[in-house]
């Protein structure tokens, strides 16, 4: 039986489309949820904050997309090295500044990375979430000390300099 041309063409369209759909199923399947503000209890301990910070680092913060040592420096041991980055600036202030004003200081060997300010769109992290990130950074080679009462960001502006929570040097 001779198969009509339109039927053959239709079969080719369907089969080719099925093939590409199949290729699409072979790659890793990851669904990325829309980020939601993480509610942090007011009496969270620094260790609890650091655990939440890790969640943000690997999730909505997208930190590890760049901080692998290629585009941006690795974050291993940052708690120890943060105090030596900018003369006269404490490790805590440096960590807070690097999240609110990422371009204020660029680590040597890395170009203008255009890391977004984390409290502004598109990242839009809350001050509490940034506290959690600071706690996680303090935990990289040190002991987290920041609490929910530590003023940072807009809260700290105009206020007397935050008392160096200490402990970031390990």
Partner 1 sequence: MSRRIVIAVVLGAVVALWAAFEISVWFDQRMAYESPLRGAEAEATPREQGILDERHDLEQRNEALPYEEAEYRAFPKVGSRVAVWVLAQLHLLFAAFVLAVPIFALIIEYIGYKTGDKRYDKLAYEFTKLLSTSFSFTASFGAFLLFMLIALYPKLMNYLGNVFTPTFLPYVALFFFEALFLYSYYYGWGKFSPRVHLFLGLMLNLVGTAIMFIANAWLTFMMSPAGISKTGALISTWEAVTNYTWMPINIHRIIANVAFGGSVAAAYAAFRYLQSEKAADRAHFDWMGYIGNFVAISAFLPLPFAGYWLASEIYAYNQTLGIQMMGGAFSWLFIIQAVLIGNLFLAANWYLWMGMGRIAGAERYQKFIKYLLVVITLCYIVWATPRSVLATVSEVRAMGGSTHPMLGYLGVMSAKNTAVNILILTTYVSFLLYRRSGKIATVPWARAGNLVQFLIFAGSAGIVIFYGVYGYFVPAEVRIGFSIPQVMSVLLAMVLVTILDVFLFRNAKKVGETNWGQMPALSQYLLIFIAISFTWLMGLMGYVRSGLRQHWHVYGVVQDTSPDAFTPTLGFATQVVSVTVLIFFAFIGIVFWLASLSGKQGWEPKGARRGAAPPEGAADLAPSRARVSSP
For binding to partner 1 (CB under 8 A), which residues are involved?
5-6, 8-10, 12-14, 16-18, 20-21, 23-25, 27-35, 62, 65-66, 70-71, 109, 111, 113-116, 120-124
Residue 33: CB minimum distance to partner 1, A: 5
Q: Which residue's CB is nearer to partner 1, number 62 or number 156?
A: 62
Q: Which residue's CB is nearer to partner 1, number 87 or number 122?
A: 122
Extract the tokens encoding 170.
């390990």
Q: Which residue's CB is nearer to partner 1, number 51 or number 62?
A: 62
Q: At what angle do helices 127-139 and 46-58 cross, to 10 degrees?
A: 100
Residue 35: CB minimum distance to partner 1, A: 7
Q: Which residue's CB is nearer to partner 1, number 42 or number 65?
A: 65
Extract the tokens encoding 157.
């502006």
Query: Which DSSP category does 39 fall into?
Result: P
Q: C-alpha distances in angstroms, 155 versus 90, 138, 158?
A: 18, 20, 8
Residue 46: CB minimum distance to partner 1, A: 28
Query: Which DSSP category does 128 fall into?
Result: H
Query: How far apart (Å, rounded) are the C-alpha atoms in residues 17 and 41?
Result: 50
Residue 88: CB minimum distance to partner 1, A: 29
Residue with tokens 């039927």: 7
């Amino acid at each position: 039986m001779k198969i009509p041309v339109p039927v053959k063409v239709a079969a080719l369209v369907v089969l080719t489309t099925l093939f590409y759909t199949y290729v699409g199923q072979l790659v890793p399947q990851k669904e990325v949820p829309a980020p939601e503000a993480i509610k942090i209890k007011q009496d969270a301990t620094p260790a609890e904050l650091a655990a939440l910070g890790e969640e943000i680092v690997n999730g909505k913060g997208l930190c590890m997309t760049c901080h692998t040592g290629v585009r941006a420096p690795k974050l291993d041991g940052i708690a120890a090295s943060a105090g030596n980055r900018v003369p006269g600036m404490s490790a805590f202030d440096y960590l807070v500044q690097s999240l609110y004003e990422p371009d204020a200081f660029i680590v040597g060997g890395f170009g203008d990375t255009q890391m977004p300010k984390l409290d502004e769109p598109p990242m839009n992290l809350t001050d509490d979430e940034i506290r959690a990130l600071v706690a996680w950074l303090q935990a990289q080679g040190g002991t987290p000390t920041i609490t929910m009462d530590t003023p940072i960001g807009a809260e700290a502006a105009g206020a007397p300099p935050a008392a160096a929570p200490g402990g970031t040097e390990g």
